[in-house]
Structure formats: structure tokens, C-alpha cells
Amino acid sequence: MTINTNQERKKIFPFTAIIGQEEMKLALILNVIDPKIGGVMIMGDRGTGKSTTIRALADLLPEIEVVTGDIYNCSPDEIYKQDNEKNVNNSNLNISHIKIPMVELPLGATEDRVCGTIDIEKALFEGIKSFEPGLLAKANRGILYVDEVNLLDDHLVDILLDAAASGWNIVEREGISIKHPSNFVLVGSGNPEEGELRPQLLDRFGLHAEIKTVKDPLLRVKIVEERSLFEENYQNYIQSYQQEQEKIRQKIVKAQKNLSKVQISNSLQLKISELCSVLDIDGLRGDIVINRASKALASYEERYNVNINDLERICILCLRHRLKKDPLETIDSGKKIQQAFEKIFK
């Protein structure tokens, strides 16, 4: 039995109508195609459309199939795999289709709110120890967005990164041990003027996008005009971008399906490692993320082989937050990576 849930269209700005900020949009799309890239940190000026773009992407993505009533948004196949010892028949499950979950984590959230805790009401009135799911459960198979992540407690950031990397959330509370799936794309945003994340945490984000205020007067006028049209009649405005939205949606779906078929040559892999070595990148996360992101980009461009152009487009996104900080250095991190890339690849 299949149930389609037709939710009322929310007032969300179309992803394809967003002007500029190509680096941020590319980073988000690549993470949606391959969530194992490890999320994206978006740093930039206030009022540059960070939150608008992230909500727009979540609205753009196709609906997912879930088991009706499942608190973790699990698909029928996931339920079947987890409960196969109980001989569950997934053909008898009620199925719903929902929009990709988009969970926003408030800065004041506690660890219990994030991970889940004991259901106090059941404990008091029924004497039963029961688990009350947190935000990590709601974000499963979706996007978890933390605005001003650089102001969030480091301990909570660590929990989010661990769950995003492992795909599981493990809770030990008052004699209860719970393990549930927690696969999500972690997106953090912030203003660098308000402080940076510790390097140890920053390194664990897959990509790092920097966005700046648009300086071109013509583009600024265009952005203001588009926003005014959206506010005046958002239903007509969304309708006018429906075709473009569907085109991007189908490209993402196709890229997700073809991702496993994309190959990268040994010679390019060697050059990627040489680039990370020349830039003195600690650890191997940089190498791994470049490999994954380049494959996701090639798949999005409907190709089965990674080329040098793919690597050039994503290497700064993958490495700028992994460079060692030198207060005496005047060169921008992006330019430093670009210079090293040209030296090695060209």
C-alpha cells in the first residue's frame, strides 16, 4: 500500500533563482550526490543568502520513500535489513512519500535535545523507560543545518560530526542503550568575524565554501528585484521556475544513481596526493574528499571519468580549511592552492 502525502507548498525561494554564490551551490549539490563527502562549512558575510540557499536546496530535492510512522524516516529496505531476524515482510509495510527532512539546530540546543533522551512522561505515569528521539533522529536521510556553527559548543559540534561520519547515533541514558541510523548531510554556516571553529573540528567538514557580498551594482539590483517579485506573488514566482527546478532535480537523481560507475585514473590520484603533500596537509582527509568530490562532480556533469577540470573546480573547496594558518603569510588560501595546483597538474 502506498500513501502520497501532498503537503501545502511552503514559501521557499527557488534554488535555481538564486543569483551568484556558485561555490556554495556547488558544494551543497556535491554533498547531496555523495553524503560521504562529509558535509560543508559555509563562511561568509551576513545577509548573503546562506540560510535561503540551504532551505532552497532541501525544497528542490525529490521526495523520499519512508515507512509510515517510522520516527527515523527509514525506507522499507532499511526496516527489512534491521529487522530481518524478526522475519519482517517489507511488502506489507505502509509507505509514504515525504520531502527531504530539513532540520535546523538552534544554538541553545542541549545534548539531550540533539541525541535524544528518556521520555519523562512515560517514566512518571507508566513506569516505563522509553526513548524520546532527538534532532539526529529527525534528520536521518535529510539535511541538518546549523546556523552560526562557530558559536555552537565544541562538544555538540563533535557529536554532530561523529554521527555524520558513522551514520549512527548511539545513546546511553539511565540504563537505556539505543542505536539508530543517522545519515544526514551536515551543513554549517557562520560569519568569520564572530570566530572560527577549532582546526580539529574544521578539518572534519568535507568542503569549505566562502561567500562574499555581491559588489556589482547591476547584480545587486537584480537580486533585490527578484526578491521583490517573490514576495509580491510567491506562488506565480515559484511556478515560473518549476521547469528549471525539475531539470536540476533530475540531474541530481541521475548523478546519485551513476556515482558508483565514475572512475578516477591512478595518475590523477597520484597528483592529488602530491598536491596535498606539497601543501603540507595533515592526515589523509584531504585526499579522500578530493577523490569523492571530483567523482560526484563528474557524475553531475554526466561523465564516467574524472578529468583535470573537475579537480581544479573542487580542490579549493576541499583544502582551504585544511591549510596550516600562518599569521605572517599574506597570500590568500585559495590562491595558494590554485598556484600549487597549476604547478603540479599543468
Domain 2-212 CATH assignment equals 3.30.429.10? no
pLDDT higher for 27 or 112? 27
Measured torsion, CA atoms of residues 151, 153, 158, 160, in degrees rounded to the nearest 10: -70
The pLDDT assigned to 5 comes to 37
Q: Is the pLDDT of residue 4 over 50?
A: no
The pLDDT assigned to 92 comes to 67
Q: Write the pLDDT tens digit of every residue in 7-23.
A: 344 689 999 999 988 99
Q: State the burial class of residue 243 (Cβ atoms within 10 Å of its Cβ: 0-12, 13-18, 19+).
A: exposed
Q: Write the pLDDT tens digit of every residue in 157-177.
A: 888 988 888 889 988 876 778
Q: Write the pLDDT tens digit of every residue in 98-152.
A: 899 999 998 888 888 999 887 766 666 676 667 788 999 999 999 999 998 888 8
Q: Write the pLDDT tens digit of every residue in 44-74.
A: 888 888 889 999 999 999 888 888 888 888 8
Q: Provide the residue ranges of all domains of the chain, joining segments of one domain with +.
A: 2-212, 259-345
List the catalytic residues: 285
Q: Whole-model pTM? A: 0.88
Q: DSSP states of 293-343 as a string? A: HHHHHHHHTT-SB--HHHHHHHHHHHHTTTSPP-TT--S-HHHHHHHHHHH
What class has domain 259-345? mainly alpha
pLDDT higher for 212 or 119? 212
